[in-house]
Amino acid sequence: MIIYQYNNIRKITIYNLMKNRYDHLFLLIQTLSQSEKKNFNLYINRIEKNKNAKFIQLFEILIKMHFYDEKKILDNTNIKKNQLSNIKGYLYKQILMSIKKQHTKTNYDIQIREYLDFSKILYNKGLYIQSLKLLGKAKIIARNYQYSTILLELIEFEKMIESLHITRSLCTRSYELSVESKELVERIQYSNALSNLSLELYGLYLKVGCVRNEKDRIFIETYFRTNLPKFNIEKLHFYEKLFLYQSQMWYHYIRQDFLMCYRSSKKWVKLFKNHPDAKKISPISYIKGYHYLLDTLFYLNHYYKFTSVLYQFETEVKNGGILINENTEILIFMYKYTNRINKHYMEGTFSEGVKKIIPSLMFNLKKMYKRMDAHYIMVLYYKISCLYFGSGDYKNTIQYLSNIIESKKEHLRQDLQCFSRLLYLIACYESGLDENLDQKIHSTYKFFIKMNDWYQVQKEIIFFFKNLGNVYPHQIKNQFKKLKEKLIKYYEHPYEKRTFLYLDIISWLSSKIENKPVEIIIREKFLKKNKINNYHFK
């Protein structure tokens, strides 16, 4: 029932988003927190004549709207149609000014920019010494928080003042500024090379996922070695180390070397632990580091370490150790729920996961949906579909997988699309909705060919379903045994094993052979591996 109610809400949300997508002012107002709304009212009402201004009328009506309605605005305000565009632009600017004023103390880069702006005003009035003093304050903040690019801009402005005017500063100052400028340029170039490498590796992963064959492996290894600059880890500053660990993490992740990936992501998180102030400046990077650490522990199947890190992450969020804003709120929601679901995967407690996670996930997703990236939503859908599949609820499994398969997003992860189609075939078979199975098999086959994502494991699964219609009922169990024997030999294959990361096909085959629910099969494997009993989890 939950899924069908949510789908109706989702359709309405998408319709409203389509109407609102080009109205930037409305979307900005929708993201305002209560404190930001209150601060805006204080900001605009500081001037008496603003109280009856048309831009305030516009703000007051927009803040009550659930979707943008121009006719309602014109009918309920003194604003004329030909005035609306200019008033919206003015209101937009005033809101940004108010937010900037409110968040200056907590955003050090805004503080630095403000000092720089004031410094330029003083310089233009001929007050060079005062201008340099403000530049000095800005430089202290920039150095403390390693804003190298802004620091270079400050130094270049200081160089200009020193070279054109007599400021009575030390005679060695020009030389010191020149040396500092050169060092900063080198550091920025180095940091830029590492950040570019990290970004490009992430882009490759989003496009094709992990390495698919020997050609992919050679390409990614050559690309990484060619673009990774030489470094001395002892001489690297915070952001240079961060981009280095990110690059290494993505490199190992794409190669499916999850042990090395774990080591890089652990260094990533530890870097922030060693620089607590950086958590406030780059909270998104810190959250992502936690997620990839958890992700690799999940793939390595290190249950106790995984649960320990997940507990640390959730405790830090709960205790305010991670800055909460519009961006971090989405990531925390995404990573909290995906990793909670992963925990139930590892334990084999799918039915419990459905009861404990799905209701609160749906409630929060309804609030987050319009602000979330399509990629995040589809990843959540896949996780949810696997949770339902493990619990034996194939109807909801098919519903969520259909949302992924029917998505028209061109840049949605190719691997996610492919494995969604495989699980869809299995769920259709399990649910008894196999009247058009041949057509679905043919569609899946064509998709894999089109995506150039055709592996032996996938071929064996599709051919198995294709031939299943020719098998007598008493022979079916034997066919499952044969397929399992064929697939097990690929379990540790460097490229074929990626299928098993997305889909526990071996456990499903075991469930068909042993006539047990797949949840029981996975649970038994978990208990055997961890040598604990059911009571421990009650």
457 close to 484: Cβ distance less than 8 angstroms: no
Q: What is the 3-state secondary structure (H, E, C) of 105-171?
A: CCCHHHHHHHHHHHHHHHHHCCCHHHHHHHHHHHHHHHHHCCCHHHHHHHHHHHHHHHHHCCCCCCC
Higher pLDDT pick, 105 / 230: 230
445 close to 462: Cβ distance less than 8 angstroms: yes
Q: What is the pLDDT of residues 160-187, one digit of tens each?
A: 887 776 555 555 677 778 888 888 888 8
- The residue among 236, 244, 225 whose CA lies nearest residue 186 is 236
Token pair listed for 407: 């998505």
Cα distances (Å, whole numbers) of residue 327 to 222, 248, 283, 435:
34, 25, 9, 45
Higher pLDDT pick, 5 / 524: 524
CA 122 to chain centre: 43
- The percent helix, strand, coil of the chain (3-state, each to 5) is 80, 0, 20
Q: What b/e string do you get for 421-451 counting C-beta neighbours within 10 Å, with b at 16 or more?
A: bbbbbbbbbbeeebeebeebbeebbebbeee
Q: What is the 3-state secondary structure (H, E, C) of 218-254?
A: HHHHHHHHHHCCCCCHHHCCHHHHHHHHHHHHHHHHH
CA 49 to chain centre: 44
- pLDDT more than 90, % of the chain: 43
In this prediction, residues 329-343 reach a mean pLDDT of 95
State the pLDDT at residue 19. 44
Token pair listed for 531: 């040598």
State the pLDDT at residue 446. 85
State the pLDDT at residue 6. 41
State the pLDDT at residue 537. 34
Token pair listed for 331: 């990531």
Token pair listed for 456: 């032996």
d(CA 522, CA 517): 9
* DSSP per residue, 336-352: HHHHHHHHHHHHT-HHH
- The residue among 258, 265, 331, 256 whose CA lies nearest residue 292 is 265
State the pLDDT at residue 52. 75
* Boundaries of every domain in the chain: 21-103, 108-169, 418-538
- The residue among 234, 239, 229, 227 whose CA lies nearest residue 151 is 239
109 close to 58: Cβ distance less than 8 angstroms: no
Binning pLDDT at 50, 70 and 90, where does residue 23 land? confident
Binning pLDDT at 50, 70 and 90, where does residue 253 land? very high
> Which one of 219-233, 299-313, 402-416, 455-469 scores highest in mean pLDDT?
299-313
346 close to 386: Cβ distance less than 8 angstroms: no
**Is the pLDDT at 82 greater than 70, yes or no?**
yes
d(CA 155, CA 301): 50
Higher pLDDT pick, 473 / 506: 506
Query: CA angle, corner 342, sides to 294 and 348, nearest 5?
Result: 135
pTM of the model: 0.79
**Is the pLDDT at 306 greater than 60, yes or no?**
yes
> Which one of 203-217, 378-392, 448-462 scores highest in mean pLDDT?
378-392
State the pLDDT at residue 437. 80
Binning pLDDT at 50, 70 and 90, where does residue 35 land? confident
CA 456 to chain centre: 31
Higher pLDDT pick, 288 / 102: 288
Least confident of 186-190, 237-241, 244-248: 186-190
**According to DSSP H, which parts of 373-530 are helical?**
374-391, 394-405, 414-431, 437-451, 456-468, 476-488, 498-502, 505-514, 518-530
Q: What is the pLDDT of residues 99-158, one digit of tens each?
A: 888 877 778 888 899 999 999 999 998 888 899 999 999 999 988 888 888 998 998 898
d(CA 329, CA 317): 10
